[in-house]
Chain A
Amino acid sequence: MPTCTDPASPMNAAGYASRRVTKPPNWHELVAFDMLFNNMTTGLFVVAAAGDLVSRPAFGPLTRLAYPMALLFLTIDLACLVLDLGHRFRFHHMLRVFKPSSPMSLGTWCLTAYSIPLGLLSTIEVLEMAGIREIPAWMRLASITTGIPFAMGAAMYKGVLFSTTSQPGWKDSRWLGGYLTNSAIAIGCAELLAIADLAGQGPVRAIRTSLLALLAINLGFLATLIVELRPAIRTLKGGHRLDLMLTLGAALGVWVPAILILVSGTMPTIASAIIDGIGMVLVLAGNFLVRRSIVMLPHHENDDGIVARWDGGS
């Protein structure tokens, strides 16, 4: 059987077989932050809007703060997107066409469409807080109902954008979109809990219990995602670090906050508010770690170092 004369040579009988064919896009931390802020704004909006629809008297004081905060997170998210593209005019280039076959095009349109009812709701809340005028209830209701599908679309597209690529790991993660959308709602719930604690109003206990339920469901989605990503991670140089980051993300983003929230329910108001706040920060930190690990996955080199030998042709 013929073999390469110098197995240590990078160029031998196996040719390019040990090289990765695909090229990673130059997406780094900024994209991980974009993913997080996307989920922070859409999640908070959807949770607040659901609260408004379920019981306006109970959630009203919270949504007054939630919508302007969601607008702030959306602004940061859009800033991340524009900065990542490298030029301030490049984002709106995506609005010159509507192309549903491209998750990025669909997401851009969803984000843009979502910004309108969110902006309107934030304006309504700020005007009402300032006591300038009473806004008709139908306007709020219309903004909420039109905003929810676009917010959901904006939360959903990001995972599909990554999974419909040819990059190692991403292409195998069928549940990435499911995980991200699910965690957006969990993040939104954690944010609403922090707002409720800060405002000292609203159905804090109900929100706390719902956050526990959401974290439990989210853990299922995250576990599925990690199982899907693991085969690709194992082939990477430094894959064990990536694996550790994902595990740490799961611990920080789900397990520890869940324990803290369980504990905070038995504590006096101020102490529980502080613990809830810490829990929310951990949820965000854990979710960022998971997103960063996913974004950086294709930037890791293959770990094989194995150069196969020619077996006389295929």
Chain B
Amino acid sequence: MNARELEISAIPEPAETPSGPVATILGPFLPVVRPEPRTPTGFYTDTTVCIGCKACEVACKQWNQLPSDGLNWSGDSYDNTQALSATSWRHVKFIEQFASAGADAPSRWLMMSDVCKHCSAAPCQHACPTGAIIYNEFSNVYIQPDICNGCAYCIAACPFGVITRSDLDGHAHKCTLCYDRQRDGLIPACAKACPTASIQFGPIDELRDRAHRRIEELNSRGTPSAYLYGEAPTATYSELHSFYLLVDRPSTYGLPESPFNPWLRMRGDYLRSLLGGLAAIVAMILVWTLRMP
């Protein structure tokens, strides 16, 4: 297992926050001291070694103090979590592919631990009107729940269906990539708990190298269908800081075949809106000019 924890002494001390009545009043208007950018980190999930133990789900809930979603039998294999939610930031998916008698291909059971993709150009971050969704110093997409106003625009924007608004506090929630643990030099709880190193955490570039080596290894061992999902940008979407090694179509795992960043069309949509308004105003004034004495 390559996941490692950093030296706590290597973590820079946070800047001292000003206090007192003046700072309290003027605080929101003063320029903030941003933390120094750090090496971008993320997850690389190798689905070929996932055993569906759900240790990641449990570790996530335990560390982040997320409540239970209830004990519901879904009937969908071992997937009783069903979906990522405001209280489930990890979701292990199960895909049963049992061959019928006489079939050439072997039976197989695909498993994947799903999580926020921490897109490097995240639609949710673009959408957020309050500035609650930010990129933190590790280039992870982070929701500040105290600033979130629960407008749900991020939910509508996310092409992966990750973000959910909590019924308890009305704010949006998702994986923080264990920001608190990272700041203290620890690896995220899910990666720490994963017994097979299916979930790997580390600097993104290092993870990409590791993933490419794994692909070569799988190809040489007779799994030509192995490929990486989200590790590189496409024409319509940025690279993901949480990317996957898959062996079947993305849709089989509940991932979009080719994600699209809706912001690529924003400028054109504004222009068409303007056109709609101008067409009406010009027509109206023209009629008035012609019809009025």
Contact = CB atoms under 8 A, between A and B. Distances in A.
Nearest to A92: B149
A13 B100 CA distance: 11
B289 A4 contact: no
Contacts of B285: 50, 54
A97 B131 contact: yes
Interface residue range, chain A: 35 or more
B202 interface: no
Given A182-B276, A209-B291, A3 B100 contact: yes
A69 interface: no
A266 interface: no
A205 B291 contact: yes
Contacts of A94: 129-130, 149, 151
Contacts, number: 267
A90 B149 contact: yes
A203 B73 CA distance: 68
A217 B276 CA distance: 9
B263 A13 contact: no
Given A19-B254, A21-B255, A203 B269 contact: no
A85 B151 contact: yes
Interface residues of B, number: 78
A105 B99 contact: no
A61 to B, nearest CB: 14
Contact of B251 (A17, A96, A97): A17
B247 A13 contact: no
Interface in A172-197: 174-182, 184-186, 189
A306 interface: no
Nearest to A108: B129
Contacts of A217: 279-280, 283
B222 to A, nearest CB: 12
A167 interface: yes
A13 B96 contact: yes
B249 interface: yes
B100 A5 contact: yes
B283 A213 contact: yes
Give the one of A162, A164, A205 with max B CB within 10 A.
A164
Interface in A260-303: 298
30 contacts: A3-B100, A11-B76, A13-B96, A15-B95, A16-B253, A23-B158, A23-B164, A26-B165, A50-B285, A54-B285, A93-B149, A99-B131, A105-B129, A160-B273, A161-B153, A162-B156, A164-B266, A165-B123, A165-B157, A166-B157, A177-B273, A181-B277, A181-B280, A182-B277, A182-B280, A184-B277, A186-B280, A209-B291, A217-B283, A312-B105
Given A104-B151, A177-B272, A310-B248, 13 more contacts: A2-B98, A3-B103, A5-B100, A14-B251, A21-B256, A55-B292, A159-B269, A160-B269, A160-B270, A163-B262, A177-B270, A177-B273, A185-B280
